[in-house]
Amino acid sequence: MKSFFNLKSWRGRSLRSRVAFAAVVVTGLALAAPGASTATTMSSKKPLIVWIDTSRIPYEQAYMKANPGANIKWVIYNGNENGTGVLQSKFALWNRIGWPSVAPDVMFDSQNYDAVQLGTAPYNDLLSLSKYVPASVLKGYAGHSMSACTTPSGKIVCLRNDTAADVLWVNQGLYTKFFGKAPVPTTWSGIVADGQMLKKGHPGYTVGDIGDEFDDDFIYWGNGCPLDQVVGANTVEIDPTNLACTKINNLLDNSGLEGNAISTTYVFAAGGFPAAKVVMMVGPLWYGTAVFENGKKAPDGVPNGTMAAYPPPLSVLGKPITGALGGGLWLVSSHSSQPAAAAALAEFMSTSRRFKPLVSTRACPTTRRTRPPMSARSAPSSPTRSSLGKHGKPPRPRSGTVGAPLRGAPTQPGPRRWCRA
């Protein structure tokens, strides 16, 4: 059964539940890689004011190292984390009383669905970037990857931070130990089959996790399940009976792996997540440091270079689509007195290769939510992206650093260069 309802009744729900991106199937392996900006924000009488969250402090340091003459005032705020609405509240106030000199020129926003809201009425407070960011950069974002940054009138009002893309993380040492020279799975059924082998022969090792708010992104929209899909103006489709939904539900429900080879421990659980026991796991690029390279922070982390990022699995219907999680946006205020410099900084932050080593970019909930069995779950939508090579076969992973800015984020085709954590 398909259910349609008007988006006006949906706006009263939480920001997280209002994610309404259409799942897009993208084939092939076209690299979407806007060039890094060479523009800098040099010293001026008035400093450029940039608001960032604590996870972006390494970005600040890298920017200042690359642009030592830049006159910038860096301000730490919560990044609008979990829909707290800091930017919305500030903008609404300043639109009534006037924008102060301390207002930001550039902002990092952890919420992927804030830009269009803040760039349209009643706010209209974000700069249209098309005039300031080279067309070659904007065109480098593939498919619908910039949908979260594009207003209904077509204005580009943000740039993607770009570490949200899902991959299949594989501990190559453990994989070789347990599966020898067998190819890494390219399908969900292949992951489940490997999980069943681990459950029987090597209990305690896992092929993923289940039961938290990230299921929505990895499992449902990673398989094209239309549970919150825009199909028209003010209209969203919810169809849990769709074959993509029922097939992934049945696969996981009947696998017998939940609670063993598919962990039910949240990756940010207070008691720690057994990352060293993960043989493979679908997750975003930022898991590289936030979950796996945590050896100094938690006893269950793994040494750098342990995990390799492979293309994510094909959907249960055989299509090269997958979910994405987080990433965030770079916004530029339309009230900035230095729009060109502000836009250049946002472009640098979202496209510069200098940020390849900077992976700790997560903006995720700090509490775990209890979820019903898979067959009873529903989920908001997530952007989708393809990360498979020609004929659906994944390229071999290549050495590199987790967090290389993969231009375009969730809906672009996958990178040519795979990475290690």
- For every residue of 338-365, which 3-state class applies, written as one string? CHHHHHHHHHHHHHCHHHCCCCCCCCCC
Per-residue pLDDT of the chain (421 residues; tens, 9 = 90+): 444 333 333 333 332 222 222 222 222 222 233 333 334 445 457 999 999 999 889 889 989 998 898 999 999 999 998 889 999 999 999 999 999 999 999 999 998 889 999 999 999 999 999 999 999 999 887 566 788 899 989 999 999 887 777 899 999 999 999 999 999 999 999 999 999 999 999 999 999 999 888 888 889 888 989 887 777 777 888 999 999 999 999 999 999 999 999 999 988 888 888 899 999 999 988 888 788 876 555 556 888 889 999 999 999 999 988 777 877 899 999 999 999 999 999 999 988 876 655 543 333 222 222 222 222 222 222 222 222 222 233 333 332 223 222 222 222 222 222 334 4
On whether the CB atoms of residues 299 and 171 are closer than 8 A, the answer is no
Q: Cα–Cα distance between 208 and 53 in angstroms, integer?
A: 29
Using the structure block, give the residue that is written with the tokens 């200042």.
64
On whether the CB atoms of residues 188 and 313 are closer than 8 A, the answer is yes
Residue 236 pLDDT: 81
- The secondary structure of residue 289, as a DSSP letter, is I
Residue 355 pLDDT: 65
Q: Cα–Cα distance between 308 and 178 in angstroms, integer?
A: 16
Is the pTM for the entire model greater than 0.95? no
Q: What CA dihedral angle connects 251, 212, 219 and 229, to 10 degrees?
A: 130
Q: Cα–Cα distance between 362 and 404 in angstroms, integer?
A: 14
Phi, psi of 353 (to 5 degrees): -70, -10
